[in-house]
Amino acid sequence: MTLTGRRKIFKLGFPFEVLNRDLKLIFASNLAGSFGDGLYAYLLPYYMNKTLNASPQEIGILYAVMILVAASTLFVAGTLADRYDRKKIMIAGWIAWLPAPIIFSFAENWLQMLPGMILWGFWLGGPTGTAYITTSADKKKLTLTFTALSAGWSFGYIFSPALGGYLAGTIGMRMVFYLASILYSSAGLILVFISSQHATRKAQHPPKENYSFFKLLRTRKLLVPSIFFALTIFTLMLFRPFVPQFLGHVYGYGDFDIGILGSVSFLGSAVLGILLGKLGDEWRKPYALTASMVLCCFSLVLLTVSGNFPMLIITFFIAGGSYVTWSLMGAIVGPLAPESIRARWISVPQTVSMFSSFIAPYIGGVLYDASPYYPLIVAIIITPFLALLASTKLLEQ
């Protein structure tokens, strides 16, 4: 690669030029849905602890249940998306989320949060959206396409956690939950206008050919990335639900300040994610993942050594670089899949990752109860190892 070619990687430009009409609508849907999600999702562990008196272990249980449900629905969603209109499955994913914040608004203890967490775990859009994007996108700019769409999700989070924190302190969390549900419905409505997409099948691949989960997992193209991403998602879920509590308990920040930092982290995700997408397309997709893990490790080190608010602004911006892991998984694994089974193919590493990490929030809760620093320290130890593995040819088949 020439020096000029390398310099192009770092020109931000306008990344959304890689998005066609359907992908721009998906971007808009991500933006609306994530704005609703961001109103409460970042504050939710803090809310559970402060308002519902949930212990770290109980919060860990709730998030473990949510992840377990997600793991259980991903392959089902992939199977449906390979047989029916992917557009309809993506819309159904938003419909499943609609009641979750309403249930949260009426919960008076942590157990009453459980039905909402179960619905929040229906990730029907995970493999379906990834398959839709992979099929629709320019294959030469696939990593940037995924990270640009991820930026849509991140842009929604830039202001919503701060706004959610402000509204929680002024009109109460119940109204915040109601607003989130309204925005979820708008995200689903936007997807009504995208084109339908069905998996195309060749004559030698009849529609009902048996591609079971374990049959697909046994292929090397899926087994290796599945194991790698399982360890990656486990590590992220070990500490991430407890960062808001850490800010409150260790550094003494309140709802609004915690919301501001959450917004900063998603601004970092949008900006750094686009840069990582360009890096992956110009060099190698796994290099983007390496950089993401390095940024994660560095941000955790900064978080443990300084509670100064200006320093935390920098810390959380850098931390945003680790929020694109799911998108990078799609960019790496998606192109390897036959179109006729793309959604199921993609759902395999997603499912393995979620099943492997469902216990992570509970373990993180136990570690946090011993010391708020322990989940962060464990992640600091693991992430350089993940960065090193990603920099090899392990994920390239």
* Better-predicted residue by pLDDT, 82 or 319: 319
Asked if pLDDT for residue 2 goes beyond 50, the answer is: no
Q: How confident is the model at residue 308 (pLDDT cuts 50, 70, 90)?
A: confident
Write out the two tokens for 10. Answer: 């770092």
| Residue recorded with tokens 């320290």 | 377
pTM above 0.75, yes or no: no
pLDDT at site 13: 43
Q: How confident is the model at residue 396 (pLDDT cuts 50, 70, 90)?
A: low
pLDDT at site 177: 93
pLDDT at site 394: 63
Write out the two tokens for 169. Answer: 């302190």
* Better-predicted residue by pLDDT, 232 or 202: 232
pLDDT at site 212: 65
Question: pLDDT digits over 107-146, tens only?
Answer: 889 989 999 999 998 888 778 888 888 888 777 777 777 7
CATH number for 16-195+212-391: choose from 1.20.1250.20, 3.20.20.100, 3.40.50.720, 3.10.50.40: 1.20.1250.20
Asked if pLDDT for residue 278 goes beyond 60, the answer is: yes
User: In percent, how much of the chain has pLDDT > 70?
Assistant: 88
Asked if pLDDT for residue 3 goes beyond 50, the answer is: no
Q: How confident is the model at residue 302 (pLDDT cuts 50, 70, 90)?
A: very high
pLDDT at site 273: 77
Question: pLDDT digits over 26-66, tens only?
Answer: 989 988 998 999 888 878 887 888 888 888 778 878 887 88
pLDDT at site 397: 56
